[in-house]
Structure 1
Amino acid sequence: MFWDEVYKGKPPWDLDHPQPAFQALIQNGEIKPGRALDIGCGRGENAILLAMSGCEVTGIDLAENAISDAKVKAKERNVKVKFVVEDALQMDWLFEEGEFDIVIDSGLFHVMTDEERPVFAQQVHRVLRKGGKYFMLCFSDKEPGEYDLPRRLSKAEIESTFSPLFEIIYIKDAVFDSLLNPSNRKAYLLSGVRK
């Protein structure tokens, strides 16, 4: 499978630290302790950060290699996180409706096709409790590049996908930290509340 192959090496987003945007959300109190889901968690840095900040965390990813590594990392750091191999577009059978207070997505939404986006938004909406918070970090259309992936998204695309199901608090300029160009990749950070 594609994502397992990617994780046999060290993909550019696979940092040995959490994304600074999520660290800031915790520091400024936007993310508070609660039941949290990290969708597309990769090797688990953001999920581990949430757990260390008092959240009860589940991390899911399609890549078995990444989940195996995340489990080892959490154990080494003595942090409790439940890591599961699962497709973010098919979470119905895995989680109850309204199971989570917080859902985060660091770099998953921007690899989805136009057809997958509304399905993904529905899935996130379903697993969040009413009033639960969704935070998403993706490459913005201000980030230069010749490649199709990850897609560069406009504020309008993000808004049209999520506004039917979420009250959008903000979509603001942020940085997506990467091994290729650390602390310098242009991104958007979405904060939304489940309607």
Structure 2
Amino acid sequence: MFWNEVYKGTPPWDLDRPQPAFQAVIQSGEIRPGRALDIGCGRGENAIMLAINGCDVTGIDLAENAISDAKKKAIERHVNVNFIVGNVLHVDWLFREEEFDVVIDSGLFHVMKDEERPVFTRQVHKVLREGGKYFMLCFSDKEPGEYELPRRVSKAEIELIFSPLFDITYIKDVIFDSLLNPSHRKAYLLSATKSDLNSAVSSPHGECLL
């Protein structure tokens, strides 16, 4: 499996610290103690940070190697995080509806295929409580390498995918830190709140979203 192979080594995004953009969200008080899901958590640095700051945290990732390492890391740091292996496109198989107060996504959305994006958005919407927050960090279209992976994402793309089911608070320019060119990769941070179910019944293209 591809992602397991990736985590046999150290991929560029696998820092030994949380992403600065999420540290800033914690420091600003935008994320407060509550039930949190780190979706595509990798080896767990962001999830562990949430737990240290008072959240009841679950981290989910498809890569068994990453989850195994995240569990060891949490034990070594004496932090309680529920790390599980699972497919982020089927999180409703693993969690109750409206189970979480906040969901964070560090570099997951920008690796998804076009057809996976609306599925993923519905999954995040289902597991967030009414008024719950979603924070997403992705490479922006301002980052050089338009045709390289991970994909560069525009503000327009983010709005198109998320606005049917979420009220967008902001899409701001931030840095996606990595082992390649540290502290210089251009990114967007999305802050969005789960919309009222009654107002989120279809996409701009007429697709059923619920």
**TM-score higher than 0.5:** yes
In 1, Cα distance between equivalents of 2:150 and 2:120: 16
Q: Which 4+ stretches in 1 moved above 4 angstroms?
A: none
Q: How much has 1:93 moved relative to structure 2? A: 1.3
1:166-177 paired onto structure 2 within 5 Å: 166-177=166-177
In 2, Cα distance between equivalents of 1:87 and 1:72: 21
What corresponds to 2:45 in structure 1? 45
Gaps of 5+ in 2: 196-210
Q: State which structure, 1 or 2, has the greater radius of gyration over its C-alpha atoms.
A: 2
Identity of paired residues, percent?
Answer: 78
Q: Which amino acid aligns with 2:74?
A: A
Q: Which amino acid aligns with 1:91?
A: V
- TM normalised by structure 2 equals 0.92
What corresponds to 1:2 in structure 2? 2
The alignment status of 1:117 with 2:117, answered yes or no, reads yes
Q: Deviations along 1:103-124, whole A, 9 cap, x unmatched?
A: 0000000000100000000000
Q: Which amino acid aligns with 1:52?
A: I
Q: How much has 1:148 moved relative to structure 2? A: 3.2
In 2, Cα distance between equivalents of 1:87 and 1:49: 22
In 1, Cα distance between equivalents of 2:42 and 2:176: 15
Gaps of 5+ in 1: none
1:129-144 paired onto structure 2 within 5 Å: 129-144=129-144
What corresponds to 1:85 in structure 2? 85
- TM normalised by structure 1 equals 0.99
What corresponds to 2:126 in structure 1? 126
Q: How much has 1:143 moved relative to structure 2? A: 0.2
Q: Deviations along 1:54-107, whole A, 9 cap, x unmatched?
A: 000000000000000000000000000000000100112100000000000000
In 2, Cα distance between equivalents of 1:119 and 1:148: 24
In 1, Cα distance between equivalents of 2:171 and 2:147: 23
Aligned residues: 195
In 2, Cα distance between equivalents of 1:146 and 1:139: 10
What corresponds to 2:201 in structure 1? none
1:145-184 paired onto structure 2 within 5 Å: 145=145, 147-184=147-184
1:93-108 paired onto structure 2 within 5 Å: 93-108=93-108
What corresponds to 1:24 in structure 2? 24
In 1, Cα distance between equivalents of 2:147 and 2:49: 30
In 2, Cα distance between equivalents of 1:161 and 1:41: 21
